[in-house]
Amino acid sequence: MSNPYLQRRYLVSFASRQLPHIFTDILVLGGGAAGLRAAMESARYGRVILLTKDRPLESNTYYAQGGLAAVVDPGDSVDRHIADTLATGGGLSDEPVVRRCLTAVPEHIRQLRDWGMRFDANDDGSALRLGREGGHSAARIVHANGDATGRALEEFLLARARATEPLKIFDECFALDLLTDPPAGGPGATCVGVLTDHPRFGMQILRARKTILAAGGAGMLWRETSNPPGATADGIAMAFRAGAGLADLEMMQFHPTTLYVAGSTRSLISEAVRGEGAYLLDRDGVRFMQDYHEMGELAPRDVVSRAILDRMVQTGSNKVFLDVRHLGAERFAERFPSIDQQCRVFDIDPGVDLIPVHPAAHYMVGGVKVEFNGQTTLPGLLACGEAACTGLHGANRLASNSLTEALVFGQQAGETAGRALAQNGLDESPTTRHIDWTVQRSDRTELDLNDIRNSLRSMMWRNVGILRDGPRLAESIEIIQFWGRYIMDKEFSSPAWRHRPVDVLGGSAAGAGRDGWETQNMLTVAWLVAELALRRTETRGVHFRQDFPDTDPVWARHQVVRRTEHQLVVE
């Protein structure tokens, strides 16, 4: 039986059906910090279109409470930052990449300040106020607006991008698939743009000489997540279908502390709270992290997440607690205004009450394999941000290294794409090819998208979550393959699908069509995550195998997966 996840949905070909066609020099997919920075940089060289599937500001960056890890204190050193990153990365970080990235970060902070972005300073205004988070040997986290650094950075970059020429932003435009010519999986395939769907304008082709993929959030694959509803792994799934190599998808980082209130969505409780001195307590009021790691509450995130799960099992509870009462209500509210406000929505007074927390899927460490310049294995396609696997994080991301990575690699990808235009000259000629996006009508039963999506997320949390073992991973692959036979053969662009009521989690005004495509993307990447997790028979970083609890030197390597025309290749 053929694998439903290896089928290509859309092909560039000489077809009888013609779609509206837009041509640009550089196309950027994703409106977080990495995409915005890449778009601004590449706009120095040619025309740029930035595509977001939701309204602007709806990105993982916007919800990031942590800051930007950067050495700006004379008492700190880049070598210490590098050492902390490598130690957290579990032997999979690429040391030259780590050094180049972290050496460049302070200059990016200075550039943002020169552009007018304001970061939190000490009370006397003499220097930036620096926080400390888990895994860091020094206070080096730069914040803006307390616990709303991601929001401040996103708003600042978006305002600057809107004022940048010749850069246009297309929002609420869903990217269905990357287009390759010749077809993906075959020899010589090159990325030439993307097929999109807009609730107002319908299907369109956006043709570009260079495409930068910056849409990598994947937290919605798991039932418990800190990510917004749009983080459905679209960019990773599109890159896989187009034939690009993906690396380390088994490395999903789970954040130890999200606010846990039954029936509500999970909201992040930043690691900076523990950096300020908060304690983790179990249901009996016992502070337990010193029993698991010498760094206590400031241990790496994977250690804290597993410790919390273990303590919940030991105490028969579905949560643990953050104790910030000793910090004082006024100090906590001043330092973490967003978290304080969120707690009070549920009648939790941090100055008096314990804050209930629970681990949740947070950051996709793996992604599309790239070189330092952002180039993927597919010509014409670059990637940056959470969509990319750069080699910086290895098997586990050091806290607050992600926003800095977004800036450094976003700028690098934009410059790489722009310089390619400058070297090769601008091409004003639109493609003579059209796209055949019709899919043979499915004769299989139509399953309920809402049920599939919820069941997938629950299964991923149970079987492919913080704790894993071989039999459950194998079972998960079987179940995902079964669902795929009934979901991956469906075509969601028909009017009947587009105008159905939206009843799935995270549904949009675009109708059930988008939700169907998102579900296909979630199933595709869930399969790849489970497949690579099953193959990696060891414990390393965020990947913890209960049946293989030790780290195996044989596995001190990346797993790179790609598709050919008819098979999955893992190297």
pLDDT tens digits along 1-36: 578 888 765 544 434 356 788 999 999 999 999 999
pLDDT at site 515: 87
pLDDT level of residue 62 (50, 70, 90 thresholds)? confident
Q: What are 228-278's pLDDT values in tens digits?
A: 999 999 999 999 999 999 999 999 999 999 999 987 778 889 888 998 899
Two tokens at 352? 């008096």
Q: What are 473-490's pLDDT values in tens digits?
A: 999 999 999 999 888 887
- Start-end of CATH 3.50.50.60 domains in the chain: 4-251+365-434
The Cα–Cα gap between 540 and 92 comes to: 9
- Whether 545 sits among the annotated catalytic residues: the reply is no
Please state the separation of Cα 227 from the chain's center in Å.
9
pLDDT at 503 over 80: no
- The CATH class for the domain spanning 4-251+365-434 reads alpha beta
Starting from the edge strand earliest in sequence, which strands make up the sheet with 68-69, in order?
A: 68-69, 141-142, 130-131
Continuous segment of H or E residues that includes residue 18: none
Contacts of 72 by beta carbon, 8 Å cutoff, 6+ apart: 106, 109, 128, 130, 140, 142
Report the candidate in 245, 218, 222, 219 with the shortest Cα–Cα distance to residue 234: 218
DSSP H helical ranges for 89-229: 95-115, 149-162
Contacts of 15 by beta carbon, 8 Å cutoff, 6+ apart: 434, 435, 436
- Start-end of CATH 3.90.700.10 domains in the chain: 255-361
Q: CA quadruple 292, 295, 296, 302: dihedral positive or negative?
A: negative
Report the candidate in 475, 564, 487 with the shortest Cα–Cα distance to residue 524: 487
Any idea which residue has 């090159």 for tokens? 190
Two tokens at 533? 């997790």
DSSP 3-state assignment of 567?
Answer: coil
pLDDT level of residue 543 (50, 70, 90 thresholds)? very high
The Cα–Cα gap between 293 and 176 comes to: 44
Contact 11, 135 (CB under 8 A): no
Q: What are 122-180's pLDDT values in tens digits?
A: 876 668 999 888 889 999 999 998 888 999 999 999 999 999 999 999 999 999 999 98
Which pTM was predicted? Answer: 0.92
Contact 447, 486 (CB under 8 A): yes
Contact 120, 146 (CB under 8 A): yes
Query: What percentage of the chain reaches a pLDDT higher than 90?
Result: 70
DSSP 3-state assignment of 21?
Answer: strand
pLDDT at site 3: 86
Please state the separation of Cα 134 from the chain's center in Å.
20
Q: What are 77-112's pLDDT values in tens digits?
A: 999 999 999 999 999 999 999 999 999 999 999 999
pLDDT at site 66: 79
Beta strands at 21-29 and 202-213: parallel, antiparallel or unpaired:
parallel
Residue 83 burial (CB count, 10 A): 13
Please state the separation of Cα 80 from the chain's center in Å.
26
Two tokens at 152? 């401040």
pLDDT level of residue 439 (50, 70, 90 thresholds)? low
Two tokens at 543? 């990947």
Two tokens at 188? 């010589």
CATH number of 255-361: 3.90.700.10
DSSP 3-state assignment of 570?
Answer: strand
Q: Which of 301, 311, 335, 397 is catalytic?
A: 301
Report the candidate in 240, 237, 244, 246 with the shortest Cα–Cα distance to residue 517: 237
The Cα–Cα gap between 480 and 476 comes to: 6
